[in-house]
């Protein structure tokens, strides 16, 4: 099993072998123009890589729109792609998951992202990347994303699947209300993505610690883990962590709580504040 993470050393050893994308929530050009990895192109999730007609943010685009966006970013099937971001990996993971869901088989996330590059004392680039369109063609691949109807089937016991909420525990318990209704989808388990991240390095915790934390998922390979968060971004980060330890039967509920909480007919639960 190959790792979904690419080390900085591996990128530096063959920099010309990679299409480099910087994943960004908004796609604002100012931070990118001020300094980015050499040869990188800016992949904005809110505008380039989402469905503008959808009622909820960051909704996965259709194959045609994704093809157009990826070709403009220079992505091709035969060339490996590495993605980084400026935060804790969730934006890069979302682009990684999108590319996998549309058929790219050589896509990785840069371990440590921009912070790792800067920590090494490497220079940033301020020149625009050469405009070389790619030839990537998106092919919708089942199994990566699920919709609300599928989650309802999970709740009805029609799939050997469990729901996993990857948001912070106060949000899961309903102590903090960030969406239309507080709480979580009924029957959900909770393991926050943030608990997989080292607060000092902003990368995944050590491999032994990650293996220990994710052992319940490793021990149940027959179960499909349906991950959700607010809008399918942090859930992609958790999918990356599971892929890193070899758990592959994973999907992301794209609408997540933005969609689910907006419909009062859909069941949500609250946990008492004393429940830890």
CB-CB neighbours of 31 under 10 Å: 14
> For residue 236, which of 105, 103, 100 has the smallest C-alpha distance?
100
Q: How many CB atoms lie within 10 A of CB 65?
A: 17
CA-to-CA distance for 94 and 91, rounded, in angstroms?
A: 5
Point out the catalytic residue in the list 45, 109, 227, 229. Answer: 229
Q: Of 233, 258, 1, 6, which Cα lies nearest the Cα of 97?
A: 233
Residue 258 is among the residues annotated as catalytic for this protein: no
C-alpha span between 205 and 5 (Å, rounded): 14
CA dihedral 221, 227, 233, 234 (to 10 degrees): -80
Interstrand relation of 161-165 and 268-269 (parallel, antiparallel or unpaired)? unpaired
Catalytic residue numbers, as ranges? 229
């Amino acid at each position: 099993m190959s790792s979904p993470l690419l080390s900085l050393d591996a990128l530096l050893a063959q920099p010309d072998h990679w299409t480099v994308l910087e994943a960004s929530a908004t796609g604002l050009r100012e931070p990118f123009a001020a300094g980015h990895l050499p040869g990188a192109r800016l992949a904005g999730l809110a505008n380039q890589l989402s469905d503008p007609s959808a009622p909820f943010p960051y909704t996965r685009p259709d194959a045609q729109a994704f093809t157009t966006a990826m070709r403009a970013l220079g992505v091709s099937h035969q060339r490996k792609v590495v993605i980084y971001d400026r935060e804790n990996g969730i934006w890069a993971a979302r682009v990684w998951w999108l590319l996998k869901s549309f058929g790219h088989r050589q896509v990785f996330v840069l371990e440590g992202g921009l912070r790792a590059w800067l920590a090494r004392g490497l220079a940033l680039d301020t020149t625009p990347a050469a405009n070389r369109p790619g030839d990537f063609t998106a092919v919708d691949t089942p199994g990566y994303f699920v919709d609300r109807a599928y989650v309802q089937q999970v709740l009805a016991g029609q799939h050997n699947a469990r729901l996993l909420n990857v948001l912070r525990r106060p949000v899961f318990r309903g102590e903090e209300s960030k969406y239309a209704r507080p709480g979580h989808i009924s029957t959900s388990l909770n393991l926050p993505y943030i608990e997989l991240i080292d607060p000092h390095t902003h990368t995944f915790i050590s491999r032994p610690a990650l293996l220990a934390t994710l052992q319940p998922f490793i021990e149940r390979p027959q179960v499909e883990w349906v991950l959700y968060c607010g809008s399918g971004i942090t859930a992609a980060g958790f999918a990356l962590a599971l892929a890193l330890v070899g758990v592959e039967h994973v999907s992301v509920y794209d609408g997540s709580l933005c969609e689910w909480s907006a419909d009062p007919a859909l069941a949500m639960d609250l946990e008492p504040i004393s429940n830890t």
